[in-house]
Each structure stands twice: as C-alpha cells, then as structure tokens.
Structure 1
Amino acid sequence: MEWFSQEKFEVRLEWGISAVEHLAKEVDCVVIVDVMSFSTCVSLAVNNGASTYPYPWKDASAVEYGMKIGAFTASPERRFGGEGYSLSPASIKNISDGEKLVLPSPNGSAVSFKARDAGITVFSGCFRNMSATANACRAFGRVLIIPCGERWPDGSLRPCIEDYVAAGGIISAMCRENRSPEAQAAVATWQYYQNENFELLRSCSSALELTQRGFNEDVELCLEIDKSQKECRLWGDAYMTIPARKSSSQ
C-alpha cells in the first residue's frame, strides 16, 4: 500500500488529475466534481436528455471533434448571448432532448478523459445532482471523489471550496461510514455550509469571478441543491443518465 492511496477505506477523496493518475487504479468508480462550471453544465444537459462529450482542449480541435461525431461544440468561453452553447450553464439550461454537445474544459473534461482511460466507471457530480450521484455510487465498493479545482496562471492547481463542499455532500449522501480522513473532512465542511445555508459560497473566489464578469445566473444555477434526480455517467465518450442510446451490441 502506498502512503497516499487511502487503501483501507471504501470512500476516498483526492484533488485533480493527479488523483486519477495515482489512485484510480485501486477503486471501482470515480466522481468528477467541477461545480463552476463543467459538472453543472453536464448535469443541466443530461437532465434535459442531451449527451455531453467532454473534451480537454480549448482549441480548434474541439470543433473538429464535434463535426466528426455530429455534435454541437460549446464555446470554451462564457458569453451572454448569441447562438450556440458555451461554458456558461445558463446557455445550456434549455438544451433539447437528444442533442449532442462537446464541452471543452481543461479541468472537468481533462480529468474525465484521464479517468475514462483508467477503465473504471466515471460519474460527474455537483450540487444539482448530488443525491442522484450518491445513489449511483452505492453500487460500487470503492469510490474515489475528485474535486477538480481551478488553475493558477502558472497552471498549478487552485483548490476550490465549492468543489470541496459538493464532494462532501455527495459523500455524506452515500451514507457510508468507512471514509478516509480526507473524505471525512469534506463531509464536515459540507455540514458546516449546510448550517450556513450556503450563503458563504456566493462569496467564494469562483463565484466572485463569475459575478464580477456579470454571470450571476451561472452562480445561482451552480449552487442549486438536488434540482436534478439524474446521475451523469460516462458511457463510452459521453455523459448521459442511462445507456438508452447505446446499441444492444455495445
């Protein structure tokens, strides 16, 4: 057992893409938590019956990938209006049933890609589908929760409180006692913010950034609790609630 593996515990927690690289091989499923805004965008799309394809690069190759699979490609930058979708959850909330959406993101999508390649079950979780995600995880013995965080200008990880609180909420809703110290600490943080009615999260760094840029609605969408009863599971290359559109041969 490596000292960082949390191997003695059923429910584990570690940050960012390094968690996949070092811990994913020892678990049965992972939950990617990127509240502002990848996981929220995924939940909104899946709740409306759309499929979301994570893509880790915010460049022209994302559009090429979308054209190849017959999907819309979201703009990697938030925007207030115009046609199409972006990384703004508000732009995705009315997506239609059956649509396919490529979502470029260097955080949530990149971690999703890495986890998919590890050959394990992958979920995307956030506040909006917290209980549904926890319920889906109960079918798995060893679960790794991965809050993604953000990036500093030098590319290093900036842990985000909103991802940590949502991760703790998912762990708490799983109702398992065999949690690592890292996972238990996230649960304690979730419980604290429950008592504060989550108002403090509207003043966290990520929320302030969105508010200062004028994306107040995005903040509200990201902080809504259990608005969706659908888990978001990565089936092949796309997040969807069930493999309803997969052929019987797959």
Structure 2
Amino acid sequence: MVSPFGQRPFDIRMEWGPRGARELVDEGIAVAVVVDVLSFTTSVTVAVERGTAVLPLAWGAVDAAERARDLDAVVAAGRRDGGPGRITLSPASILTESAPPRLVLPSPNGSAICEQLAAVDVTVVAASLRNAPAVGRWLAAHGGPVGVVASGERWAGDGSLRPAVEDAWGAGAVIDAVVAAEPSATLSPEAAAARAGYCAVRPDLRARLAACASGVELVDKGFAADVAIAAGPSTSSAVPVLTDGWFASVD
C-alpha cells in the first residue's frame, strides 16, 4: 500500500524531522536533502568549503570523543563549551579556527537525521541557505525523486519536534534552485509551499532570519555571527554528499 505521506508521484517532496525522513525513504526517494539552517548543515557547508570532511553524529552519543580518536578526527563541542582553539557546532568557530582534515559533528537535529539516513540506501546531501543554488543544480543533474527534509528543532522538556521556519526557508531555497535548473520538475504541495515561503522572504532574508524564533534565541545567547553566516550570501559551490559515513563536497 502506498503511503500518502511519501508524496508520490512528485519529483520533489518535502517533509519534517526524523519521522518525515523515514516516510520519504519508505516511498522510494533516491536522494535525501537534509536542511538544518541553524546550524548543522550551515556548519557542514562551511567545513567542506574549507576542505574538512564531516561525520554526522546524534547529539549526546557517549562515544563521540572515542570515535573521533579512533578516526583521527576532531570532535566538535557544544556551543557553550567553546573557546579559543576549539571547534563547536557554531559555524563561526569553524570559520575562525584551523580547519582539521576530519570533524565529528554532533547535533540533536540535522546530524541525527543524517546519521539515521546513512543506514539506508539513499544518497544524503547537506543543504543550507549558503549552498542552496549549488545543491539545486546538482540535484537537477543527478535526478530523483528527491526528498527535502527540514530538520526542525526540539521543544525543551518533552523533546517533541518544533517546526522551525528557517528550515522551511532553507528547504524552499533548495527547491527553488532545482526548479530554476529543471523547470519541468514536479513539486508536491508541501514542496511548493516551502518554495513559496522562501520566495516571499528572499528579498529580506537576513533580517527575517535574525527575527525568527531560532535566530532570536541564538542572538540572545551571543551567537549573532552564526545567524549572519547562515543567511548567506548564497555563493557557496559546496555540495556535501555523504560517502562512507563522511560529508565531502562533490564536483
């Protein structure tokens, strides 16, 4: 029985969080594009721009440091545990510190979804507002069907999914770029809605990102630079594809 939540028969589909990713995979997508604008996939984009391979890992993994040592990699700390010489989930720290060859990057949302998808037969791509045009062109050339997964955030307390508007915009940016490269691509209503939302805020994207709930939260915690980095400009040519467990940019 075909699930309606898999959004067949559309070329480009869009869903939220780990459960949405599973639904899309179960209904036969070939490529899963994970979007976590504030901040996992922005951090991945910045890292691979600098030549660093990134291993996604679910937040709170007890063996993160041990795995990093075994893989001859650096493990990123949480934002609050940062400091001079230390890379964290913050994309600003990845831009300012020395770029390691390999980085283990835990996060509670985008990274956890990427780790989940690594276990199934699907191509996984990390997309942000910075690299959405490059990802869209790559997707149009690669073919589909494509599932764009907006990671969302987690509510404190029960850990339930909080749909985060910045991830809807990031998903919409990718979808808009696919359509620009391949106008015949068909969009599910969910994908079309994400695209429309992005196009509506695109003229004022930087201010909208700073004013949305997740942006305000980061600014209040002292991470305004992360919001500015996430807002673009959309000039990155990096297309991070998960290969043998690691994100690295493809041509």
TM tier, shorter chain? over 0.9
Instruction: State which of 190, 212, 217 in structure 2 corresponds to 1:209.
Output: 217
Residues 1:229 and 1:78: Cα distance change in structure 2 (over 3 Å): farther
Q: What is the match of residue 82 of structure 1?
A: 84
1:80: Cα distance to partner?
5.5
Q: Which residue of 1 aligns with 2:143?
A: 140
Q: Deviations over 1:120-158 (max 9, x none)?
A: 100000011111111121112200000000000211000
Of residues 8-17 and 224-233 in structure 1, the stretch that sits farther from structure 2 once superposed is 224-233
Identity %: 35
Task: Show structure 1 runs of 5+ residues with no match.
Answer: 244-250
Would you say 1:20 and 2:21 are equivalent positions?
Answer: yes
Give me the whole-angstrom Cα distance separating, in 1, the residues matched to 2:95 and 2:244.
23
Q: Distance in 1 between matches of 2:243 and 2:211?
A: 35
Aligned pair count reads: 243
Consecutive unaligned residues in structure 2, runs of 5 or more? none
Alignment-mate amino acid for residue 129 of structure 2: F
Deviation at 1:54, TM superposition (A): 0.5
- Residues 1:240 and 2:248 aligned together: yes
Partner of 1:161: 165
Tell which deviates more after alignment, 134-143 or 55-64. 55-64
2: distance between equivalents of 1:85 and 1:114? Answer: 24
Q: In 1, distance between residues paired with 2:96 and 2:205?
A: 27
C-alpha displacement at 1:47, in angstroms? 0.3
Q: How does 1:1-250 map to 2 (within 5 A)?
A: 1-25=2-26, 26-79=28-81, 81-94=83-96, 96=98, 99-138=101-140, 139-153=142-156, 154-175=158-179, 176=183, 177-242=185-250
Distance 2:91 2:29 in 1: 30
Residue 220 of structure 1 deviates from its aligned partner by 0.4
Residues 60 and 83 of structure 1: CA distance in aligned 2, closer, same or farther (over 3 Å): farther
Cα deviation digits, residues 61-108 of structure 1 (max 9, x gap)? 111110111100000234552222101111101455661000011211
Specify the SS of the correspondent of 2:4: coil
How far did 1:217 drift?
Answer: 0.7
Would the alpha carbon gap of residues 197 and 149 (structure 1) be closer, same or farther in structure 2, given more than 3 Å must change? closer
Q: Distance in 2 between matches of 1:29 and 1:162?
A: 21
Please say if residues 170 and 198 of structure 2, whose CA atoms lie closer than 8 Å, have aligned partners that are also in contact: yes
Per the normalisation by structure 2, the TM-score is: 0.92
Single out whichever of 42-51 and 90-99 deviates more from structure 2.
90-99
Q: Distance in 1 between the 2:70 and 2:250 partners? A: 23
Comparing 102-111 with 90-99, greater Cα deviation is found at 90-99
Q: TM-score, normalised by structure 1?
A: 0.92
